[in-house]
Amino acid sequence: MAQEANGIGAIWDDIRAFGAGFKTTFKRAIRKPVTVQYPEQRLPMARRFRGLHKLLRYPDGLEKCIGCSLCAAACPAKAIRVVAAENTETERYSPGERYAKIYEINMIRCIFCGYCEEACPTGAIVLGQQYEIADYHRDDFIYTKERLLVPFPGKAKDDRPRYQRGLTDQGRAAEPQTTGAL
């Protein structure tokens, strides 16, 4: 008789488990679905989300990157390659003495840690909100400077800003700026 009581108790336990499962299923079935139709609808990303990298420019169109390679040194995955070159009076890409002639990020190696953003003294590299990086070939995951650089809205794509030191946009000498009390 004791064995029959254990068998009946086990059956009742199974029935209760099925009932709890059906209760959860029916409770979820009457709720509004949380599915987002991805390509048409997008969820907002968190403010501190670290997505694809961007190389920024100054408002006058010059690149912020000065080719110091601190971002490459700070990268734990060694995903960044920077080759610096000297600015000349005729070819000026950044306000400093040097600029990044080659700037590449291997997105397959990148772990999106943000150390490159922290190490940059000029704030040239930032991690944006874009997260779509799918591609078909491994070579396409090496982002070059042209792909990372934010376009300058005032110029055509191939027309890089070229300024001479000490001249304003209108071509006349810049007046020395004086500040108040130091």
What stretch of H or E contains 161?
Answer: none
Residue 29, judged by CB atoms within 10 A of its CB (0-12, 13-18, 19+), counts as exposed
84-131 pLDDT, tens digit each: 999 998 999 999 899 999 999 999 999 999 999 999 999 999 999 998
* Residue spans of alpha helices (H) in the chain: 2-29, 70-74, 115-119, 145-148
Nearest in space to 123 (alpha carbons), one of 75, 53, 45 = 53
Domains and CATH numbers, the chain: 53-148 (3.30.70.3270)
37: pLDDT strictly greater than 50: yes
Rounded CA gap, 30 and 33, in Å?
Answer: 9
142-177 pLDDT, tens digit each: 999 999 999 987 654 444 444 444 444 444 444 444
Rounded CA gap, 106 and 125, in Å?
Answer: 14
pTM of the model: 0.66
Instruction: Out of 5-19, 57-71, 102-116, pick the least confident.
Output: 5-19
